Structure 1
Amino acid sequence: MPAINRELADFLRRARSKQDPRRAGLPTDARVRRVPGLRREEVALLAGVSTDYYARLEQGRRIVPSPAVIDALARALHLDPAGRSHLEDLIGVGSTESPRGRTRGAVPAVQRIRPGVQQLLDNLDTVPVLVLGRGSHALAANRLARALLADFEQMPARERNYARWILLDPGARELFVDWDQQARAAVESLRLEFGAHPNDRTLTELIDDLRTQSPEFDQWWNEHRVYQRTYGTKRLRHPVVGDLSIDYETLTLPGDKETTMFLYSTEPHSPSQRALNLLASWSLSPASIRHAPPT
């Protein structure tokens, strides 16, 4: 008997439940809706497949839809690019490394950044830069990023993880004015990555830890929402320089798609830029060594 793809089943069921039947343009009928969102037969109608075919897919049966059917399902469920990519990963067509083709419990090679990348980070004195690897593991940060966020290098190796830090460290809750939004984004980014690497033992252990230690993580994880971090804004209440709003852009390093560089900046001539400049000066002073921000 074929194994059940429970992740796919859960994702499709939750995506269907979030849809507004009125937005879908479906004809109204007299039946009472007992659950939110679209019915299975309505998703099938919108995607142009049989109700039985969609039902088997949502049950997690091991079937592989064609690219045209995946396109139709993504449209029917109004999936954004991250959701579409997650759907492909769960089905097993999102990459050349299918989830079914990897060894269960595999431990990937330890990630390290190239010396040239570290040299680049160290030379960027006025721009905070953080480099994350698989599973949000903090691979490197320059001086200003350590002063702005946290000094991951001073943490035990197992705790050098952005998602673990933002969800479990009380200092992170105090640092982010919009903590709920930022922490949820971290969870949804892990959800997206887990779909692509369901058999990564290190990632699975991180998720298990967070599910037991963070009620918010467990709640947000069960919602099965996914998010691709590309750019955005974070609002901080920094213990040294006070409130500031900081934008970020992400870059993927050529030749290493699993390593992402986050570059932070502020609006020119703004109070936030003045605060960041002050933090840059402070982080160069001897006082910054004696009185590092409690994050």
Structure 2
Amino acid sequence: MTHIDLSANFAFLAGLHIHPLYALSGLLVGALVGLTGVGGGSLMTPILVLLFGVHPATAVGTDLLYAAITKGVGTAIHGTRRTVDWRLVGLLAIGSIPATLLTLFGIEHCGKSAAMSSLITHVLGYALFLTAIMLLLRGRIRRYAERQQAEALAAGADETKLHMRRIALTIVVGLVLGFLVSLSSVGAGALGVTALILLYPQLPTVRIVGSDIAHAVPLTFLAGAGYFFLGKVDVSMLLSLLIGSIPGIIAASLLAPRLPEKALRVMLAAVLALVGFKLVTAS
């Protein structure tokens, strides 16, 4: 009979500590995600970097696994409601998976250098600016995309060529998201949804959101696992964030239908722009 020594596992568990302030941050960000559908990576990583002084690479790596777990729950819900376009998820993954692997290779090669920390911080800051703009303009982007598609079909455009073009652009969107999310943990939510609305204005918003969330799970898990094996994930921090975020997401999801979505999006966009400015000008 093989003897299994559990002492190392118990020692590891004993070394984990739940940080109340991390849990509180997880609660607040989880509630915001539940209310607006975005904001996880956009807010959690800046909070860890700016408020707690966490190294940018560690903040990104921990946030990626945090996002993978929380969005896994969202994917399960969307999957049971059949609001996921799995073909769309596959096209995005064709671009995002190779981009994620290449980005992780670059991070491993550069290590925790000052240049890499500065790059992550600045990419994160500019990504937040872009996310804020996309949040405010999402409705106009949808109307513009619908109008362009209708005009193209009315002018006799070849539907097959339009379809192939959308496929190619979807793969490119996945590639960009893979790089951006792996480097800064930002983009899988607001940027991904907005890009898909622009490419597929005929799809219901809930189906686009469900597909984007489903794509974010393997993307963030793969990137987060890469950071974990590179030693850039704080497990105690991750557990603390999840302890706060899970009840926050549940409570906010129940409250969301009673609150004005437009006001929430404007508030979130303002916060993201402020944090982005702080990150860009911090170094």
TM-score bracket for the superposition, by shorter chain length: under 0.3
Which structure has more helix as a fraction of its residues?
A: 2
Higher relative contact order, chain-length normalized (CA < 8 Å, sep 6+): 2
Which structure has more strand as a fraction of its residues?
A: 1
TM-score scaled by structure 2?
0.24
TM-score scaled by structure 1?
0.24
Larger radius of gyration: 1
